Chain A
Amino acid sequence: MRSSHQAAPILLMTTLIFRRIDAFSSLTRQIFPRQYRTIRYATEKETMDQSSHALCLRIPTPEDMEDIAALLSVSTTSGDTILLDGDLGAGKTCFSRGFIRARTGFEGRITSPTYLLSNTYLVGEDGDKESDGGLNVHHLDLYRLNRTKEDLMPLDLDNVFTNGIALIEWPSRLIEKPERRLDVTLTIDVNYDTNTMTSDDGEIDDERCRIMRLVPHGGRWVERLQFYESEGYFEDLIVDDE
């Protein structure tokens, strides 16, 4: 156990050293704005590893889906990626809507990118900046693509994963996934009564619950999920992970 006046010179020296590193790294960031942090992709083994931090939630309504997504969007920044898996109609775009509206404040229509492949939404604040002005949320849908380098190339994924916030529907088409990400899998709860599809006035009322399975990979996502769980934000929705 060192006494405090022995620690002081060590602290002083490290301060001097790290000050230089701090200045150097911010200079580097200005010269090579895109490259100061490159994306690490998960190895196959890492992809196979099931995270022990998995969480399972029952989502009763589309509004709850959007709320959970909004929750998860708070304080997201460049390098944050969510992979949205689930069958047709499971709620992937509904989730994305909630996320994007909360993170960007965009009030217009947030539609499915199945055909357009990618929609981007500007996060209008002075936080991290992508090299040409502004942090973006990239909403991608890989449904129509083949799992080939050529089909994925025009989407500029390296840039999207490194510099933007990414929401990717149908991630099974990806060749490699970022090491740090949140895996969200949506399924329709089969245990729910499926008879009520329309209400009396003919409105489409898909009343079935969705089950959302969240598997975080990497520091930020693990911490976020643990925070929300421990602070009780999921308390009414948690179900056992089968």
Chain B
Amino acid sequence: MSPLKMTISLFICTTCARWSTRPHPSFTVHSFSPATHSLPSARRQSSTSLPSAINGTPLSKKEAGREKRKKFIGMAKAVDRGQYTHTYNPLKEGGLFVAKSGVPRQIEEGKLFTVLGIESSCDDTGAAILRSDGTILGESLASQHSIHQPWGGVVPSLAKSAHEDNIDNVIQTALSNANMKIEEVDAIGVTVGPGLEICLRVGCERAKDLALRYNKPFVGIHHLEAHILMARISPEKYNNTSIPSDKSMSRAMEFPFLALLVSGGHCQIMKAHGIGQYSIIGGTLDDSLGEAFDKTARLLGLPVGGGGGPAIEKLARTGDPTSIALPIPLQKRKDCDFSYAGLKTAVRLASEKLCIERDVESAEQLSENDKANIAASFQHTAFRHLEIRLNRAMVIVSKEDERISTLAVVGGVAANNELRSRLEKLCLDRNDPWKLCVPPPRLCTDQGAMSAWAAVERLLVGSSDSAEGQEVFARYPFVDMDSST
């Protein structure tokens, strides 16, 4: 090798293209270290040949290959050093809430106050002005400003959520619908996580800006808590009257309770101990329920603007839920987790089979009757799976804490009527019947009112955040709760 070539190989690492004066091992060689670019030396294992036996028992080629791979992975496997720097925990040590930016003075005076809530965690941007008794005074959604609405109804538009011009539009529209000016609002709440960082930041920065400029109490909201707390709005507030009632402090349900969150992005069962205190009892291992609905809808060529759920529900009404046998997921696992990925595949296979029988090329071309049967069978199986897991959770949680006998169902899929009636039945058909609380469909999807209401709840327990330095969190887990609480 010429000296020049030798020099070059010393100083340019072929793997990371970094200049270095130190000899830099290239990819295929030598000792293992995750921080450099080398792999474990295969020379320590018998290099190209697969292990032929373990403990004397001969291995098939496949088993041998698996052994070899697992050994390699085992050597390299990372250790979880903790994923998150930020968990959601509004309670300080000693179990007290802190009002870092104060609370509206009306609380002390026993009067009603108003909150501007902003929500921009993912698809859409929403703002709403809420009164502290739960009445929505004015609201707005960015996607509804769209000129093109080919499917009618809400068209998720990610671009709108991240676009800074839209946030001002949305806030202004909500204020004018409420006949208010920003100065008249008593507090500001905004979703700070979990969600897409860039989208969260648009809403959060604007909220911080307003809170500091107009010197208002500021609350950084947890998106999942906001969904759960919607179930606490007293039903008589849904009619959007502007006459304040005496029962401003009444709630549809009290802590502790069990909450089922089912939407496109989330599928979880949670125990709600109190504001800011939640533990996860079970969750999906792969796809969420809303996702399963959406993908089935696309498979059948149904309109999916705003999510395929409503289309499947509508079609399922005319179909036979027992016509297609679909396997219920996770029957062997006796816990409260969900899985919808296998069901998604099962539906696809069943429809492919039907396509062959009917001699059509794709599921979109099947007859309305066939599609209705697929939709009904899918929905039935999906809900059956849900019922089984939820029932188990209800039994476990009742044993742990006999005060718990209320189920809140929240999130986009809670708008499904068939789900509501089935869960109603699940709650009532028991030795000790449970109470079911579900917000009206239009309050189940992502919107400004969620953040506003969650801010009201936080402020009423004396909790608020400091707008200065508030960050957003793409991942924002709840703090670990002792499950015996």
Contact = CB atoms under 8 A, between A and B. Distances in A.
Nearest to B263: A115
Interface in B151-181: 156, 158-159, 161-163
A155 interface: yes
A116 B66 contact: no
Nearest to B307: A115
A105 B291 CA distance: 26
B287 interface: yes
A232 B345 CA distance: 32
B82 A124 contact: yes
Contact of A203 (B4, B49, B332): B332
Interface residues of B, number: 89
Interface in B6-55: 7, 11, 14-21, 27-28, 34-39, 42, 47-50
A62 to B, nearest CB: 10
Interface in A8-43: 10-11, 14-15, 18-19, 21-22, 25, 37
Interface residues of A, number: 82
Contact of A106 (B37, B80, B159, B331): B80
Contact of A232 (B48, B159, B284): B48
Given A206-B342, A227-B28, A117 B196 contact: yes
Interface in A63-113: 64, 67-68, 70-71, 74-75, 77, 88-89, 93, 102-109, 111-112
A231 B48 contact: yes
A105 B76 contact: no
Contact of A220 (B15, B198, B348): B15
B69 A74 contact: no
Contacts of B81: 105, 122, 124-125
Nearest to B282: A109
Contacts of B162: 153-154
Contacts of A202: 327-328, 331
B433 interface: no
Interface stretch (B57-65, B235-243, B391-399): B57-65
A207 B149 CA distance: 42
Contacts of A118: 196, 474
Contact of A201 (B161, B329, B331, B349): B331
B273 interface: no
A145 B158 CA distance: 8
A239 B93 CA distance: 59
A236 B82 contact: no
A93 B340 CA distance: 12
Contact of B80 (A14, A70, A104): A104
Contact of A233 (B72, B264, B285): B72
B195 A112 contact: no
Interface in B118-162: 122, 156, 158-159, 161-162
Given A67-B69, A105-B79, A233-B68, A115 B265 contact: yes
Interface string A214-242: 00000110011011001111111100000
A162 to B, nearest CB: 13
A194 interface: yes
Given A88-B295, A114-B291, A11 B62 contact: no
Nearest to B291: A114
B39 A74 contact: yes
B21 A10 contact: no
A46 interface: no
B122 A117 contact: yes
B306 to A, nearest CB: 12
A206 B199 CA distance: 37
26 contacts: A10-B7, A22-B20, A64-B66, A71-B73, A74-B73, A77-B37, A103-B78, A105-B78, A109-B285, A114-B264, A117-B158, A120-B474, A122-B83, A126-B35, A153-B159, A154-B159, A154-B196, A154-B199, A197-B346, A203-B327, A219-B14, A220-B15, A230-B48, A231-B48, A236-B50, A236-B66
| Nearest 3 pairs of A and B residues by beta carbon | A124-B81, A236-B65, A150-B159
Interface of B: 2-4, 7, 11, 14-21, 27-28, 34-39, 42, 47-50, 61-62, 64-66, 68-70, 72-73, 76-85, 122, 156, 158-159, 161-163, 194-199, 263-265, 283-288, 290-291, 294-295, 299, 327-329, 331-332, 337, 341-346, 348-349, 474-475
Given A18-B11, A153-B198, A233-B72, 16 more contacts: A10-B3, A11-B3, A70-B69, A75-B76, A77-B37, A89-B345, A112-B286, A115-B264, A124-B79, A126-B35, A151-B158, A201-B331, A227-B28, A232-B50, A233-B69, A235-B50
